[in-house]
Structure 1
């Protein structure tokens, strides 16, 4: 039988373990040994070329369709986390969060449709759902990232988009002792936008790898610290009712992300039969954000707006407020603080019973604890509409509505003019004073998230010496996950604003005490001038506000408080194939997973009472279901180093936890219609399913060059949509003695409709040495992805409370899908000198950002082009023995200062701008030293 044989470079790279630090020597040794027998030239590679060769070899050898980043890629690209590096892979794209790449989409499917694993194991997440925030994971501790675009039956954690597996080093495979440390300084060139912010930071790491007891025990330890600044000028609008801007909320933000990470791997291989691997990861994550700006009601406000110019149906200039009805701008000094601890430990043991039969046992545990404080503090020219100072603000829109120039009349930088107290009557939910809506001077959200996961796997592998089936893998997998969210918020009132009876003193304002004042903050980027600044968080911590628990009056807090438990039982079998069809060698696998899921949720249901408080009743629910997931991956070795891959599989993505929870939020009585309405939970929500086909051609025409073209199709089933429906409400008593309504109109998340995603990917990797000796050291890798989707379905919609229905057609956009995604990296590497520049581009897509009370809301994200670069020199190539092991690196991110722009809708050519965020450029200068 003719079998697939990788070329010698591929064999050398695959034998090099999971690290690049030993690649040059091991590749050279492997080639030298082969040369003795086959007279093959020895080739020595290093740096980015070595990493690209290894990635290419791993991609070529894997029976699934994968994309790979190896340690050289992650360690040397200008990245603060692996998210930036992953986003450069073909078919992948990132959404920025506060200027950093965070969530990743695979083939147009966002983070909630893809799975993330650490050393092959499912991971908990810091967010409210399953999607992993990749900026949590430092690049310094990762040795390899494997992205599976097609599944196989032995891959326990899957999504309809794909699976991203982050991997650490294997110390025994590494093969030598090594110690290294890195130190980098960081500068944000937009400057320190808040007086108490930062625009400089630093990061450092130390790693140690060694082998003991005649290479039967291996140890790897890594420690990393990061303090990374980030600053932002944000233009924001509330919306565009009837083409008139509803209001503005521009601000400047200064952030510092602090992250401490400890990673350890212990490998024990006392003999040829037993291999044990234990790994542990701990991450302490803190993100502090200072936000200052002005919130200015316009069309959605009591002052009104006069429009003087309109373009394309949208207001472009005008005046907000008048002498008789002043604006009432809310001067905001806000602060967000998010703290989280992530712990993950895993144990894996492999034992060879015979030369042909082996067993594997794997156990893992991971946990996240997250707490957030999001403080809003209000000041202005007067409390409530009746006491504001004369105030008008002219405005002129700029840059396709991505900016504005204000012409204010008041001095917002004066503590005599701007004082603590709410200019707007936004306190309806604050029941401190039932007779007033002017009792809200601030607010603080304090949600908490706990996520805990345990997994167990027992598997066996039987190898066959003859026949089409080269081996069979089979076993079972169990996971037990519990995730809970407790959503709390506090209305804040200045105690001095209340009289002895607890009633609001009309018009009361309070100057910011001297001990909390800071130098004024500049809002010149919107023409607003200076604005007062103060330490609002310390003001709150010192007890200067009276607090009222919003859970007593806000049903949304109940809706967003829940616990979801999920148990998954998986049985799997996979047959690895090796045969030939005619003269064409064929390899691959065919397999099956049977997945049993038991999900349950507890929460609460709320309805508002006559005194504006709410009544809360416990709720619960769940579902059990079984899915059968077949998979097939075949590789046809059609010519020398040319492959055709075919894949077919059924995959699933489990529901977002905030959709499958049992909390129903508010049930309200509509007196006009005489029915109950609101949101009802659906803890029976099932996964989104996909049947997918993949066809790929790969031509590995050089050790440093290949071409790949892929087409794929995903047929989506059980898509989720929030829709209204009629429900039985005959057991609910209306609040004011009205007749009982037998039916109510409730919205809920449901599995509805079918759809599809189809796309094509093209990748080209080239080395300059292929064309001319003069181009040796030059190279590039380029990719383009083109996507299209359609989710159309008919839905029965209630037209009255008597059961009347009509059919309507719906069409939605797949979240996270850009029609076009491009990536390109050009590099030069020679004699220790290395330079590379990377560009990634994506078209518009539907993303998610934080909305009111930190809830996630969908927004249209406009396309962007990002450019990063790096230059470095390795003194090991200098001939200066004292500097051997030292590398100096200069890195730059977002070199074109690309803005992050969102729109309220997909219509209007992006002119109905929601946010336009400018972050500036980030520069890092650092050194790496290897012992």
Structure 2
């Protein structure tokens, strides 16, 4: 017996779900005997679930799917949160929002995102897509390809996330939908110039013209989303002394953050199908968003690393299991921070697809696409304190008299979030706090008295153009139903411009140890409360206005710091992919067998430009252009099979060779180097005049063979699936010492005999494996009892394991993004217009990436977390109030249990690196369908 989709599946396919994920409010069931049409009402949560199941059932590859409940309504407030509820997929939060995804324990570097099947550029420094740039209101659904086929041009080892917009002709009727929601954070406004209230609104319009041969769809989404955070950041945990190996916190930077994400998104689709032969679709997408963060707090270089400048020593009071839990910082000084981070970004994507039925058996397709992203990031640090850089100590720099308002002993006790302090002075009193660098940080350009602030500016430009030409030959007999073949060519260019500036007060007097400036009253703001670390009030002021009004001079960091100069780079890629794929539709032991077998041949020409930088005897940095690149060709076979072992039951098997291109910052041709002219005559590589460190433009991709097997059951709207996968990594990118080529560096005579030397860079290492088990179930209450018909439960979980080695002799390394355990559960109720749902997603500890100093990416262990969201709503279309037909109301709570985000180091959760609390976000609003 061949596998036969259920009536619901056929209904959803007929309504256009498998191409657009949208359907009319009525789905169609086909009565093959009477040829009559039966109308079934499938709406809300059940519509989303059934559409997702239909996609999963009908796809030849192993996929997961999320479908819209209605026009403009994905099940969650963001695409990333919806993805995180799928088996084997997890998100990492950024500023309280689900931001990037890991698929099957692999970090975002191993995942590709597409829009309507076309690869998208990113606003990040690398390839990982930040999904909050795509409004969920403009997406009809998302399909995650866990196993590739040869027709998927943007493959990745982890998986491919394909976001989809509506197809107006498949939708089949006019629709106008307006959605509006207010949003509020329950922590309240932590900064006086921040916001704790916002909104989301969207408008969607779909229509058909010219006897349903021309369809248009338009969507606009506007968001102003507030976010609050109380954060403790610990520098690290050094040993107390050479004789006491107990660990003590070395310094802390706690602050309160208020941010608002402003985003405008526009989606447009024009679809034209004048006859059965020609079909054309033009997709347009644009988003513009601004993320502004206001951060205020203190920086306490205490306990250990602050000795001599931040304090006069410390006293240990209590130690537990090798960690100091209580102590006193002697004569502790505190740096006051009034910082601002801001990011502006624009993303545009255009795609035009044309298909033509050449004959009964032949068809052709042409697809053109272009996407571009621009991002500008600002990171502004402003310093204030009680005295300049520690030179004056706690005494008056002129008279030598003690100054109690400068520093006092500070008691601390370690809590779950880090140290809790008892400050000795009032840090909200403007007579105590003045502008200027409290500690001797900085560089010789700024002077020995340290810096008074810092400004990071990083710009990203990412551009991608592609063309795909393909043809399909259909067969009416035999095991092969069709063969598709073609070629895809793409060019991608990504450039990063990075600048850093030391800030020094314009009123600074060289040699004056007390050269600080009182904060002008017109810039003062109401103080901020930092009770979560034991401080009461801390001074707040408009630091951006001070910068704008000329209170600071700026000095380029790249003049004296090599790493800043080499952070500027460009990467270009030209990729040609030839592919052929045969679709299988036959029987095995009288049971239906579907699937595909195919092959891709991928040729890549990659190059990079950057700067080679060295520091001269005067401490100044000089640079020269640097470039490099390579070409390579990889063969990627793939096989996907789905065998209907019984009615509504199928076994899947898949095997493929996949690739994930290396991180672009690791492909940077720039590097730091040093040249020893005294070794110019050396011909021994171990005594070369050259040495350095940087990127590797010849870096090859990660490669892997992957194997999947799964078993799926679909019974009366219920679904059960269990599967296992194994990924055999052929290599792994890691840092090592390689032989670098310095021939492009110009040096004065005598010219060196060697142009090579050792370079600390990135290389393709040994590899290893990732394996896992995934299980999922959707259980309807009706399956248990008719009285439970309005209820339903969706649960899934995954277990992952890996062993990856950089070299044959090295110990296994931790794979970024891999959580050994993930689990999700959603319990819902839906009946007579009422809808309620509560969802929880769990992720065990993993090695994540966060933004560090100067926008650099730092790897840190992230503590396990369970995030709970809930919603309740009512659709008046189910009521007897005819005037309210089309109106729905909804109330949502995200992060219901106020789950904190915690990172730690050295494998010890007690050694907290970051502890972030975001509070709950409440949203309430309506949608109206005309």
* TM band (smaller chain): over 0.9
Q: Per-residue CA shift, 1:155-180, capped at 9, x if unaligned? A: 00010000000000000001001101
SS of 1:169's partner is: coil
- Say whether 1:316 aligns with 2:325: yes
For 2:715 and 2:724, how far apart are their aligned partners in 1? 21
- Say whether 1:458 aligns with 2:469: yes
For 1:710 and 1:612, how far apart are their aligned partners in 2? 59
For 1:879 and 1:250, how far apart are their aligned partners in 2? 55
CA contact (8 A) 1:455 1:480 kept: yes
For 1:568 and 1:84, how far apart are their aligned partners in 2? 32
Displacement of 1:701 in angstroms is: 1.7
CA contact (8 A) 2:12 2:23 kept: no
Displacement of 1:728 in angstroms is: 7.2
Displacement of 1:792 in angstroms is: 2.4
Q: Which residue of 2 aligns with 1:492?
A: 503
For 2:819 and 2:184, how far apart are their aligned partners in 1? 31
CA RMSD of aligned residues (A): 2.3
CA contact (8 A) 1:495 1:545 kept: yes
Kindly report which structure 2 residues correspond to 1:694-705, keeping only aligned pairs within 5 A, or say none: 694-702=708-716, 704-705=717-718
The correspondence for 1:176, drawn from 173, 178, 182, is 173
Q: Which residue of 1 aligns with 2:119?
A: 122
Displacement of 1:80 in angstroms is: 3.3
Q: How many residues align structurally?
A: 898
Displacement of 1:740 in angstroms is: 9.9
Cα 1:716/1:638, change in 2 over 3 Å = same
Cα 1:392/1:223, change in 2 over 3 Å = same
For 2:484 and 2:746, how far apart are their aligned partners in 1? 59
Q: Which residue of 1 aligns with 2:279?
A: 275
Displacement of 1:392 in angstroms is: 3.5
Displacement of 1:388 in angstroms is: 4.3
Q: Which residue of 1 aligns with 2:351?
A: 346
CA contact (8 A) 1:839 1:868 kept: yes
Q: Per-residue CA shift, 1:103-150, capped at 9, x if unaligned? A: 100000111101100010000001000100011111100001000000
Q: Per-residue CA shift, 1:256-314, capped at 9, x if unaligned? A: 00000111000011111111100111101100000011111121123333222112211
CA contact (8 A) 2:228 2:259 kept: yes
CA contact (8 A) 2:690 2:755 kept: no
TM-score, length of structure 1 as denominator length? 0.93
For 1:231 and 1:91, how far apart are their aligned partners in 2? 30
Q: Identify which range, 250-259 or 735-744, moves more after superposition.
A: 735-744
Q: Which residue of 1 aligns with 2:257?
A: 253
Q: Which residue of 1 aligns with 2:781?
A: 768
Kindly report which structure 2 residues correspond to 1:442-521, keeping only aligned pairs within 5 A, or say none: 442-498=453-509, 503-521=510-528
CA contact (8 A) 1:78 1:870 kept: no
Displacement of 1:43 in angstroms is: 4.5
- Say whether 1:391 aligns with 2:391: no
Q: Which residue of 2 aligns with 1:236?
A: 233
Cα 1:605/1:694, change in 2 over 3 Å = same
For 2:125 and 2:547, how far apart are their aligned partners in 1? 26
Cα 1:631/1:519, change in 2 over 3 Å = same
Displacement of 1:730 in angstroms is: 10
Cα 1:669/1:384, change in 2 over 3 Å = farther
SS of 2:45's partner is: helix
CA contact (8 A) 2:270 2:281 kept: yes
For 2:675 and 2:415, how far apart are their aligned partners in 1? 43
- Say whether 1:709 aligns with 2:722: yes
TM-score, length of structure 2 as denominator length? 0.93
For 2:846 and 2:750, how far apart are their aligned partners in 1? 49
SS of 1:911's partner is: strand
- Say whether 1:659 aligns with 2:666: yes
Q: Per-residue CA shift, 1:224-247, capped at 9, x if unaligned? A: 100000000001100001212110
The correspondence for 2:385, drawn from 377, 380, 385, is 380
CA contact (8 A) 1:699 1:707 kept: yes
Cα 1:735/1:528, change in 2 over 3 Å = farther
Q: Which residue of 2 aligns with 1:890?
A: 891
The correspondence for 1:207, drawn from 200, 204, 207, is 204
Q: Identify which range, 209-218 or 660-669, moves more after superposition.
A: 660-669
Q: Per-residue CA shift, 1:668-727, capped at 9, x if unaligned? A: 87999997654132100000001000000001122x211100000000022000123455
Cα 1:81/1:445, change in 2 over 3 Å = same
For 2:678 and 2:532, how far apart are their aligned partners in 1? 48
SS of 1:241's partner is: coil
CA contact (8 A) 2:506 2:550 kept: no
For 1:729 and 1:929, how far apart are their aligned partners in 2? 65
SS of 1:30's partner is: strand
Displacement of 1:735 in angstroms is: 12
CA contact (8 A) 2:328 2:412 kept: no
Cα 1:845/1:667, change in 2 over 3 Å = farther
The correspondence for 2:451, drawn from 440, 446, 468, is 440
Kindly report which structure 2 residues correspond to 1:423-434, keeping only aligned pairs within 5 A, or say none: 423-428=438-443, 431-432=445-446
Displacement of 1:793 in angstroms is: 4.5
For 2:213 and 2:534, how far apart are their aligned partners in 1? 67
Task: List alignment gaps of at least 5 residues for structure 2.
Answer: 240-246, 395-405, 680-685
Task: List alignment gaps of at least 5 residues for structure 1.
Answer: 796-807
SS of 1:6's partner is: coil
- Say whether 1:687 aligns with 2:691: no
Q: Which residue of 2 aligns with 1:94?
A: 91
Q: Per-residue CA shift, 1:741-784, capped at 9, x if unaligned? A: 99854310100112100000000110001111110110011001
SS of 1:215's partner is: coil
The correspondence for 1:612, drawn from 607, 619, 622, is 619
Cα 1:478/1:743, change in 2 over 3 Å = closer
Displacement of 1:532 in angstroms is: 0.8
Cα 1:320/1:740, change in 2 over 3 Å = farther
For 2:328 and 2:39, how far apart are their aligned partners in 1? 75
SS of 2:109's partner is: helix
Q: Identify which range, 78-87 or 736-745, moves more after superposition.
A: 736-745
SS of 2:11's partner is: helix
The correspondence for 1:595, drawn from 599, 602, 605, is 602
The correspondence for 1:755, drawn from 760, 763, 768, is 768
For 2:677 and 2:83, how far apart are their aligned partners in 1? 50
SS of 1:227's partner is: strand
Q: Identify which range, 830-839 or 73-82, moves more after superposition.
A: 73-82
Kindly report which structure 2 residues correspond to 1:770-809, keeping only aligned pairs within 5 A, or say none: 770-794=783-807, 809=810
Q: Identify which range, 140-149 or 291-300, moves more after superposition.
A: 291-300
Q: Per-residue CA shift, 1:176-211, capped at 9, x if unaligned? A: 011011110001001100010111001100011000
Displacement of 1:729 in angstroms is: 7.2
Cα 1:122/1:732, change in 2 over 3 Å = closer
SS of 2:10's partner is: helix
Q: Which residue of 1 aligns with 2:683?
A: none
For 2:902 and 2:196, how far apart are their aligned partners in 1? 22
Displacement of 1:617 in angstroms is: 1.0
For 1:736 and 1:422, how far apart are their aligned partners in 2? 44
